[in-house]
Structure 1
Amino acid sequence: MSAAEGNTGASATPGPVETPTPSPKATTSPKTTVSPTPTKTTKKTTKPGCAQGDNQREVETALAKLGGFGTITVDGKQSAADCAAIKKFQQRYGISPAAGRAGPTTADVAKRLAATDTRKCKGGSGTTFCLDLTHQTVWAMKGGKVVLKPTVTRTGMSGFATPTGVYTVQNRALKEWSNPYEVWLPYWQRFNGGIGFHETTTYIHVKSIGSHGCANLLPSDARAFWKLGKIGTRVHVFGHRPGT
């Protein structure tokens, strides 16, 4: 059936055929551009970078007194600057992990160093190694001035207390074999019988095991004291290690 037939019907009387009026051409609607919804800008908060420990204020106070580890704010709250300073301190004194958290070991070391009074050491005109048993710290003086700042040490445990007194370095060796304990003692400097300074052979911050009278030193400190010392170097040992 044609379009005309469809419009007039098959049974109707034929008449003039009406030419359909052409439909207007469809016009394309203008393209609508949808702008993306602006993303809400959130101001980023700078996180400290490491966890806060239970001894935050104690560590901040000690590090602020010691100086040299960066900006420290004594407020008991961890910050990015505090975190960096505490990490630097932990790395310097061999505290593991050096993650910037102010835990009990970090607090103990920091407070001992901050409490050390270098004036208590009786130094002479030459070099003197100063060993403070009370605070478990050691430093070096020359001509009355500190030439190696206080650092940590670990002396004799209970039953093996390091004796106090004034001595001199009597023997030195880059590596000394300990017969009774069957272990090498790097950067050995003997000052009293079988007692001397040497690099620690265990984790120095495990205070419960102590030494058998020697002054254990961190590797970097053992090298520094070895470089400075010589046969005849004066050694002043004073104080009392708690528990010995």
Structure 2
Amino acid sequence: MSAEAKRKATSVLARRLGVLLGAVGIAAPLAIAAGGTAQAATPACTTRTGPYQKNVEKFLGRPVDGRQSEADCRAIQNYQTKNGISPNIGYAGPVTWAAMQAETTRRDPNAAGKCPVNKGRIACVDLTRQISWIQDGKSVKFGPVPVRTGRDGYATRTGAKKIYWRSIDHWSTLYNVRMPYAQFFDGGQAFHAIGGSVWSPPGSHGCVNMRTGDAKKYWSMLHNGDNVFVYGRKPGT
């Protein structure tokens, strides 16, 4: 190839490279900008008034009028998002109210005296409020924590019971699911951890579902022969 031909070929290549780089230089900032501003969409706020509207409004320090407003919904939605309640659409339903009750009863969950105080160490389960705690006499040793008990048709059975079998990495052959930190107290019903939210409906098949950290704490504090007392009635069962 002659020197002139080489010069022309180099010039053509340079022009093509310049066009290519120019196109990339324009496209890249657009792509970065698009990626940098992309955010997960926040669910739309519901306009529906929930069955626990007044209770939730009072808990959140909102004006208590029992009517859903945009400000009410945003406040409820923020609480749901913070506590992992789904769907977080700002609806004042039983799941959200149960979570709030668990907070309000933290200091004295047995104020009504429904769980026995003469049994020594005992794990109490209140189906109505969907909470559980461990006490020794009148002294609360852990909790209360939110739980998810049996759904309609699979109610967690009430009454005085005892832990009779523990299995730290249990596998349910009946439901084909892991049940970590399982502590059985009534037939196939047990305290155990779940991977999902303890506030998700409709409920368990009778077990007392717990967050992993809470189930692990129960495992460390309870032993075979320890007392369990289940009382109340889960809403909707």
For the aligned pair, the TM-score class normalised by the smaller chain equals: 0.5 to 0.7
TM-score by length of 1: 0.60
AA aligned opposite 2:164: Q
Once the two structures are superposed, what CA deviation does each residue of 1:75-95 show, in whole Å capped at 9, x if it has no partner? 4697xxx97xx968864x543
1:106 paired residue among 96, 101, 110: 96
> 1:57 and 1:134, CA in 2 relative to 1: closer, same or farther beyond 3 A?
closer
How far apart are residue 57 of structure 1 and its match? 6.5
Q: How far apart, in 1, do the equivalents of 2:213 and 2:232 lie?
A: 24
**1:204 aligned to 2:198?**
yes
Query: Equivalent residues in 2 for 1:122-201 (5 A)?
Result: 122-124=116-118, 126-201=120-195
How far apart are residue 135 of structure 1 and its match? 1.5
How far apart are residue 238 of structure 1 and its match? 0.7
**1:214 aligned to 2:236?**
no
Measured on the aligned residues, the alpha-carbon RMSD in Å equals: 3.3
Structure 1 residue matching 2:128: 3-state secondary structure: coil
- Aligned 8 A contact 2:102 2:145 in 1: no
- Aligned 8 A contact 1:185 1:201 in 2: no
How far apart are residue 217 of structure 1 and its match? 0.5
AA aligned opposite 2:227: R
2:231 paired residue among 226, 234, 238: 238
Percent identity between matched residues is: 32
- Aligned 8 A contact 2:123 2:135 in 1: yes
- Aligned 8 A contact 1:137 1:153 in 2: yes
Q: How far apart, in 1, do the equivalents of 2:178 and 2:233 lie?
A: 27
- Aligned 8 A contact 2:167 2:182 in 1: yes
Which of structures 1 and 2 has the bigger CA Rg? 1
How far apart are residue 60 of structure 1 and its match? 5.7
Partner of 1:26: none
How far apart are residue 184 of structure 1 and its match? 1.0
- Aligned 8 A contact 1:125 1:144 in 2: no
> 1:241 and 1:103, CA in 2 relative to 1: closer, same or farther beyond 3 A?
closer
**1:223 aligned to 2:220?**
no
Q: How far apart, in 2, do the equivalents of 1:142 and 1:179 lie?
A: 34
> 1:98 and 1:233, CA in 2 relative to 1: closer, same or farther beyond 3 A?
farther
- Aligned 8 A contact 2:179 2:192 in 1: yes
AA aligned opposite 1:240: R
User: Which is helix-richer, 1 or 2?
Assistant: 2
Q: How far apart, in 2, do the equivalents of 1:73 and 1:58 lie?
A: 10
Structure 2 residue matching 1:206: 3-state secondary structure: coil
Q: How far apart, in 2, do the equivalents of 1:227 and 1:87 lie?
A: 33
TM-score by length of 2: 0.62
Q: How far apart, in 1, do the equivalents of 2:56 and 2:156 lie?
A: 28
How far apart are residue 188 of structure 1 and its match? 0.5
> 1:233 and 1:94, CA in 2 relative to 1: closer, same or farther beyond 3 A?
farther
- How many residues align? The count is 179
